[in-house]
């Protein structure tokens, strides 16, 4: 189980109480900086709201006497607050995060993520997407040929890169015709 799911599962038990809960104890084996990155990524997807361990800055008071031309810089008394221990990371799950967790757990229970990759083999996983389509072999062949022709005439790409890509395209065509594989085209 990945760290994202662990955090969401922990917060799921508090869903609806509108309170932030300490999440530092869930993943105590990883550094706090990594935990902060994970929480920030979950926040970007609107799966959680979190607070704690805010960055602190010292402040200074600058005074300048116009008559004497003297100036002084003194440390602000509020800097004493920066010496207090930081608040721990606290988070709460959002409705969107709860829905994502439910769908993710259903996918895992249904075995849709069951991928077995051995040495040297590759795994193809096709998820539902609005930007991808599974196409028939004839359309794929036409698209691959069009890509290869465009690549051959492009002068902005080095010959080494062109050769590598053309080899990959030819290999895809061979696998498609010999092994009757399904090809996923992203738009």
Residue in the block written with tokens 């799950």:
93
List Cα–Cα distances, 23 to 6, 93, 151, in angstroms.
10, 11, 50
pLDDT band at 186 (very low <50, low <70, confident <90, very high): very low
Average pLDDT over residues 113-122: 51
pLDDT band at 187 (very low <50, low <70, confident <90, very high): very low
Using one digit for the tens of pLDDT, what is the confidence trace for 122-147? 544 444 455 555 555 566 677 778 88
Average pLDDT over residues 178-183: 57
CATH 1.10.10 fits 3-109, yes or no: yes
pLDDT band at 78 (very low <50, low <70, confident <90, very high): confident
Average pLDDT over residues 138-163: 81
Domain boundaries, the chain: 3-109, 132-186
Burial class (CB in 10 A: 0-12, 13-18, 19+), 98: middle
List Cα–Cα distances, 118 to 111, 115, 147, 176, in angstroms.
18, 10, 31, 21
**Partners of residue 90 on adjacent β-strands:** 22, 51
* CA 65 – CA 80 distance, rounded (Å): 26
* CA 110 – CA 104 distance, rounded (Å): 10
* CA 130 – CA 132 distance, rounded (Å): 6
Weakest mean pLDDT among 2-16, 97-111, 172-186: 172-186
Beta strands (DSSP E) in the chain are 21-22, 48-51, 60-64, 71-75, 90-93, 132-134, 184-186
- Do residues 88 and 59 lie in contact, with contact meaning Cβ atoms separated by under 8 Å? no
- Do residues 11 and 93 lie in contact, with contact meaning Cβ atoms separated by under 8 Å? yes
């Amino acid at each position: 189980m990945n760290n994202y799911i662990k955090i969401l599962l922990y917060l799921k038990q508090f869903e609806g109480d509108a309170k932030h809960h300490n999440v530092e104890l869930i993943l105590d084996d990883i550094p706090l900086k990594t935990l902060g990155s994970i929480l920030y990524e979950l926040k970007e997807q609107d799966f959680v709201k979190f607070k704690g361990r805010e960055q602190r800055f010292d402040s200074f008071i600058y005074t300048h006497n116009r008559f004497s031309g003297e100036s002084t810089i003194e440390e602000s008394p509020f800097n004493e607050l920066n010496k207090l221990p930081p608040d721990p990371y606290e988070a709460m799950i959002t409705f969107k995060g709860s829905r994502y967790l439910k769908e993710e757990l259903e996918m895992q229970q249904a075995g849709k993520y069951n991928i077995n990759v051995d040495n040297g083999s590759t795994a193809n996983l096709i998820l539902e997407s609005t930007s991808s389509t599974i196409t028939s072999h004839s359309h794929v062949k036409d698209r691959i040929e069009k890509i290869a022709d465009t690549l051959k005439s492009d002068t902005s790409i080095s010959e080494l890169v062109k050769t590598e890509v053309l080899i990959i395209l030819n290999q895809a065509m061979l696998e498609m015709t010999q092994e009757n594989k399904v090809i996923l085209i992203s738009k």
